[in-house]
Amino acid sequence: MQTTATTHSPPSTAGSAKFMTLFLCFVVALLEGLDLQSAGIAASRIGAEFHLLPPQIGGMFSAGLVGLLPSAIFGGWLSDRIGRKKVLIGSVLIFGLFSLATAHVWDYHSLLAARFLTGLGLGAALPLLIALSSEAAEPHNRSIAVSITYAGIPLGGAIASVLGMVNFGGDWRGLFYVGGVVPLVIAVLLLFLLPESRAFREDQQAPASASRTAGGLSGLFTLGMWKSTLLLWLASFFVLTVLYMLLSWLPSLLQGKGFSRADAGLVQLMFNFGGAAGSLAVGRLMDSPRRMATAVAIYLGMLLALAGLGLSDSFALVVLAGLGAGFCALGGQVVLYAMAPTLYPTSNRGTGVGASITVGRLGAIGGPMIAGQILAAGMGVAGVMAASAPGIMVAAFAALALVRDPVKPSH
């Protein structure tokens, strides 16, 4: 009886801890979204200042994404061993410091280095945000909890769009000052206010034989989980290819079609608002019996929205397509992020989520570079959007198979 009393918090205390966890995870996701889209919004002015060609700008985008690769999987693995909170605070400090460094680069090579090191911090944060929000929620609300956290990313991108539209700070560097100073402040708040995941604490206190499956990457393929792991990786790879192509290149693509920088900023803003709405709506639907219909609608809608962005010359239709692309692209990610934590036990959850994000980042690295090469070849916006369609179809089939027949962990 005494042991039970010490392992369960009073309802009011537990509720406060859950709210604080979700709120702080949302704020960190907001900052991550701001930084991720700052590079895309500032790309044309960075390119003009340093005389960069389209493939070099694509290299700038990809440098940040390369940094995401080792840190996503390593951060997830480390959080399964020393705790979610410690690793999250470290990651926020890293991406804050090197976002500030981005504002002080002096040539193309220093720009690549700053974006790579920023990516190291950003990469470790996302799997921890997903794991923390999933573990803080009740089982029947885990998808919506993850989606609320993830909605911070497009809303952070919307803030970056607004800052870009008003030319905050006078040039492109103002975006990176905001993206650097605010995370350093938030890291202090995380230190004092963020509770460690109760699921992690209970897993650490339980006897190893009672709570642990095989750890590390090998543990993602045991107990029949190999099929779900591979489907999750395949869908993540192709969805992030398209998503980061849009996040990185959308403002420049629209300006290439003849729209003004203000018009392109408005479409980017609608993309982010659509992403936030898609994240929340899909999260709620993924907690309902309509999971399969939701996944079908999201991936079909993504194809239609890409066609609208590539083929339409009407500004009103492009705005509508941007809104739909954001809703479906971010919604497609939420389908995967909502499912990922449920596929693995607590002792390997950070590793599982981090590994799926790492595989997705491989696609995210290729997406901006492919778009840069397509534009350099003179194929234009329609060519970029057409190249995205086959990847979306592959992602849709993998996600639908995963939604239909997931393999759940035994505990």
What pLDDT is stored for residue 208 in this prediction?
57
Q: What percent of the chain has pLDDT over 70?
A: 91
Q: Is the pLDDT higher at 333 or at 382?
A: 333
pLDDT band at 2 (very low <50, low <70, confident <90, very high): very low
H or E segment and range at residue 46:
helix 11-50
Pick left, alpha or beta for residue 258 (phi over 0 → left; psi -120 to 50 → alpha; otherwise beta): left
Q: Please determine, for residue 55, whether its predicted confidence score (pLDDT) is greater than 90.
A: no
Tell me the angle at which helices 261-286 and 142-165 cross, rounded to the nearest 10 degrees.
170
pLDDT band at 36 (very low <50, low <70, confident <90, very high): confident
What pLDDT is stored for residue 5 in this prediction?
41
pLDDT band at 3 (very low <50, low <70, confident <90, very high): very low
What pLDDT is stored for residue 6 in this prediction?
41
Sequence-separated contacts (24+) of 5-12 with Cβ below 8 Å: 7/202, 7/205, 9/198
In this prediction, residues 264-281 reach a mean pLDDT of 85
- Find out whether 140 and 285 touch, Cβ atoms under 8 Å: no
**What are the Cα distances from residue 246, in Å, to 37, 41, 195, 272, 304?**
10, 11, 35, 11, 14
What pLDDT is stored for residue 9 in this prediction?
52
Q: 19-33, 72-86, 212-226: which has the highest mean pLDDT? A: 19-33
Q: Please determine, for residue 219, whether its predicted confidence score (pLDDT) is greater than 70.
A: yes
- Find out whether 200 and 87 touch, Cβ atoms under 8 Å: no
Question: How do the residues of the chain divide into helix, strand and coil, expressed in percent and rounded to 5?
Answer: 85, 0, 15
Q: 112-126, 157-171, 357-371: which has the highest mean pLDDT? A: 112-126
| Whole-number Å distance between alpha carbons of 261 and 41 | 10
- Find out whether 143 and 262 touch, Cβ atoms under 8 Å: no
Looking at 215-339, list the stretches that DSSP marks H as alpha helix, in order from N- to C-terminal side: 226-256, 261-286, 291-311, 315-339
pLDDT band at 344 (very low <50, low <70, confident <90, very high): confident
| Whole-number Å distance between alpha carbons of 376 and 378 | 5
Domains of the chain: 17-198+215-404 (1.20.1250.20)
pTM for this predicted structure: 0.77
Least confidently predicted of 68-77, 123-132, 364-373: 364-373
pLDDT band at 137 (very low <50, low <70, confident <90, very high): confident
> How confident is the model over 185-218, as pLDDT tens digits?
999 999 999 998 888 888 777 665 444 555 667 7
Residues 6+ apart with CB under 8 A from 224: 407
Q: Give 247-265 as a DSSP string.
A: HHHHHHHHHHTT--HHHHH
pLDDT band at 406 (very low <50, low <70, confident <90, very high): low
In this prediction, residues 366-382 reach a mean pLDDT of 77
**Chain-wide mean pLDDT for the chain?**
83
Which residue, among 107, 127, 113, 99, has the nearest Cα to 37 in the 3D structure?
99
* Lookup: tokens for 288: 């309902």
| Whole-number Å distance between alpha carbons of 6 and 324 | 49
For the chain, the straight-line distance linking the first and the last C-alpha, in angstroms and rounded, comes to 23
In this prediction, residues 230-236 reach a mean pLDDT of 91
Q: Please determine, for residue 140, whether its predicted confidence score (pLDDT) is greater than 80.
A: no
Q: How many CA atoms lie within 13 A of 305 on its CB side?
A: 30
What pLDDT is stored for residue 1 in this prediction?
39
One-letter amino acid of 155: L
What pLDDT is stored for residue 192 in this prediction?
94
Q: 60-64, 118-122, 246-250, 407-411: which has the highest mean pLDDT? A: 118-122
pLDDT band at 408 (very low <50, low <70, confident <90, very high): low
What pLDDT is stored for residue 378 in this prediction?
75
Q: Is the pLDDT higher at 159 or at 256?
A: 159
Which residue, among 254, 377, 390, 370, has the nearest Cα to 310 in the 3D structure?
254
Q: What values do phi and psi take at 405, rounded to 5?
A: -145, 65
Block residue for tokens 């200042």? 49
Q: Please determine, for residue 407, whether its predicted confidence score (pLDDT) is greater than 70.
A: no
What pLDDT is stored for residue 53 in this prediction?
87
Q: Is the pLDDT higher at 107 or at 17?
A: 107
In this prediction, residues 210-237 reach a mean pLDDT of 77
What pLDDT is stored for residue 150 in this prediction?
85
pLDDT band at 12 (very low <50, low <70, confident <90, very high): low
* Lookup: tokens for 287: 């907690």
What pLDDT is stored for residue 391 in this prediction?
84
| Whole-number Å distance between alpha carbons of 288 and 132 | 21
What pLDDT is stored for residue 211 in this prediction?
47
